[in-house]
Structure 1
Amino acid sequence: MMMRRSAILPTLLVVAAVAVMIGLGVWQLQRRSEKAAVLAVATTNPGKPAISFPVLPPVPRELLFRPSSVHCLHVVKWRVEAGRAADGKTGYRHIAECSTGVEGPGVLVVMGVTQRPDAKTTWTGGQVRGWLSEEPDHRSLLVRLTGNAPPLRPMLIAREPAPELKAAAPPTADDIPNNHLAYAVQWFLFAGIAVVIYAIALRRRATTPATPPTGTNP
């Protein structure tokens, strides 16, 4: 009886861990369906007519990668993120955080790519034409799972680069990873392995003779 009672807590912990892993696997399957829809629009939207740049997030899925334009009143600051140039070479995307007016929310514009993150450009603002996208996603997995993640802001990928920069790669379906099925299978395997390992541990514990208390007479 003592053995069974002592196994209650670890059993509950294993059940909770397995439930979390299964939940992550199901979430990845849901993400796979969402990603399939994004891939479909990424293939066709760049060639469609231009639309107005959205003022506030989130960007509707059906509008991603459509041609659009925005006026950058002036650059408030620059951000640097890993990215790819139109010629296929990897580098650093230079993202301008632009002001659009006194009370405007501002916009993000990818103005080009360089090989060095500390490279500079003399561009300070102006009218920009390109493709509608979203800002880089740095939200943690935990925040996204809880549903409390803030929406990603709209971002424009400039068709023409700023001075001293190379043109950024236009959005294509090839740039969007679709490995959610592999991640889902991975989480389900982890859950199955955890169950098997714990079952083996319980069986070994049940077949191991109990050690008599020290100091007892034979």
Structure 2
Amino acid sequence: MTRTTGARVVLALLTAAAFAVLISLGVWQLQRLAWKEALIAAATERPTLPAIAAPGPDIWSDFSLDDWNYRRIRLTGTFGPGEAYAWTNLSEPRGGDYAGAGYFVVAPFTTTDGWSVLVNRGFVPDGQQAPGTRPGSGPVAGVVTVEGLIRRNDPPNFVTPAPDLETMVWFSRDIPGMMAAFDRDPARTAPYSVDLVAAETPAGGLPQAGESHISFANSHLQYALTWFGLAAALVGVVIAALWRRRRKSPEA
């Protein structure tokens, strides 16, 4: 094999590899599109269905968030003492008129079956996270039945600021971290949290429940077309190069 032939073989292999990568990225985006469309359909339909009993410890070992996310469930039990405040910026309120920078008020809830779950009671504007700034906003004392939507865990990543455990201000709704701060047994803590529905907002208007984020960006089709377009462009470049080479060949 001559040096020129070897270079051409390497170039051909690199071109084929690039084409395969572009096609695989396009296919992956189509798979993501199907997943996102299923998620949007679930997030649209499930909150409108009648509430069902919350999944308890007997099914946690096989718990599938995809099967339960956004499903409307019913909890019976008591709210524990204490609150945590998860920072957020509510741009499109659904449960009331309050919006902007603020916090989700989250609290531990103990079911009558003895297990715990983290409950997002709703949104409060910045400056009103402390209970004293919103009289009458505490949860009903004693055993209550509430309804809400199941939501996934929101663990912190490497850019998430650490929580302030003195003020209980958090920058993610980290279920294990928050429930540990509430001194709850992790083995008896649900692997999901619950966002209360709008009907659970106290008479005073805060915390403003019903603020589950259920809108999604869906650009996977555009991304898939971009990757397939680049693959087609690569094929076009190769064909054009071979055509020019053929025309320049002495045997042409």
TM-score range, shorter chain: 0.5 to 0.7
Distance 1:79 1:194, change over 3 A: farther
1:66 aligns with 2:72: yes
Separation in 2, partners of 1:119, 1:169: 17
**AA partner of residue 189 (structure 1):** G
- The separation in 1 between residues aligned to 2:74 and 2:66, in whole angstroms, is 14
Aligned to 1:130: 148
Shift, 1:98, TM fit: 4.2
Identity of aligned residues (%): 26
Q: 1:10 to 1:80 in 2, by over 3 A?
A: farther
Equivalent residue number for residue 120 of structure 1:
129
Post-superposition offset of 1:191: 2.3
Aligned partner letter, 2:147: R
Choose which of 156, 177, 196 in structure 2 pairs with 1:158.
Answer: 196
Question: Matches of 1:13 and 1:108 in 2, distance apart?
Answer: 52
Residue 215 of structure 1 corresponds to: none
TM-score by length of 1: 0.59
**Residue 34 of structure 1 aligns to which amino acid in structure 2?**
W
Q: What SS class does the counterpart of residue 19 from structure 1 fall into?
A: helix
Q: Separation in 2 of the partners of 1:95 and 1:16?
A: 51
Q: CA deviation at 1:156?
A: 1.6
How many equivalent pairs are there?
191
Cα deviation 1:40-97 (Å, max 9, x = unaligned): 3333322322123335443243663324337654568544345542248565562737
Q: Of the candidates 202, 220, 229, which is equivalent to residue 189 of structure 1?
A: 229
Q: What TM-score do the two structures reach when normalised by structure 2?
A: 0.53
Cα distance in 1 between the residues matched to 2:4 and 2:115: 62
- Please say if 1:38 is aligned against 2:42: no
What are the ranges of 5 or more consecutive residues in structure 1 without an aligned counterpart?
140-152, 209-218
1: CA distance, partners of 2:108 / 2:118: 6
SS of the residue aligned with 2:65? coil
State the partner residue of 2:164: none
Q: Which runs of 5+ in 2 are unaligned?
A: 132-136, 158-190
CA contact (8 A) 2:85 2:129 kept: no
Q: CA deviation at 1:19?
A: 1.9
In the TM superposition, residue 168 of structure 1 has moved relative to its aligned partner by: 4.2
Residue type of the alignment partner of 2:93 = A
The 1:42–1:200 alpha-carbon spacing in structure 2 relative to 1, beyond 3 Å, is same
Partners of 2:107 and 2:82 lie apart in 1 by 6
Residue identity matched to 1:68: R
Residues 71, 150 of structure 2: 8 Å contact kept: yes
Which residue number in structure 1 is paired with residue 93 of structure 2? 85
Task: Determine the structure 2 residue equivalent to 1:176.
Answer: 216
Shift of 1:158: 1.6
| Counterpart contact for 1:130–1:158, Cα < 8 Å | yes
The residue matched to 2:120 in structure 1 has which SS? strand
Instruction: Give SS of 2:36's match.
Output: helix
Structural RMSD (CA): 4.4
Structure 1 108/19 Cα, relative in aligned 2: closer, same or farther at 3 Å?
Answer: farther
Would the alpha carbon gap of residues 154 and 62 (structure 1) be closer, same or farther in structure 2, given more than 3 Å must change? closer
User: Offset of 1:157 from its aligned partner?
Assistant: 1.6
Q: 1:34 offset after TM fit, Å? A: 2.9
CA apart distance, 1:198:
5.5
Residue pair 1:90, 1:115 contacting (<8 A) in 2 also: yes
Shift of 1:2: 1.7
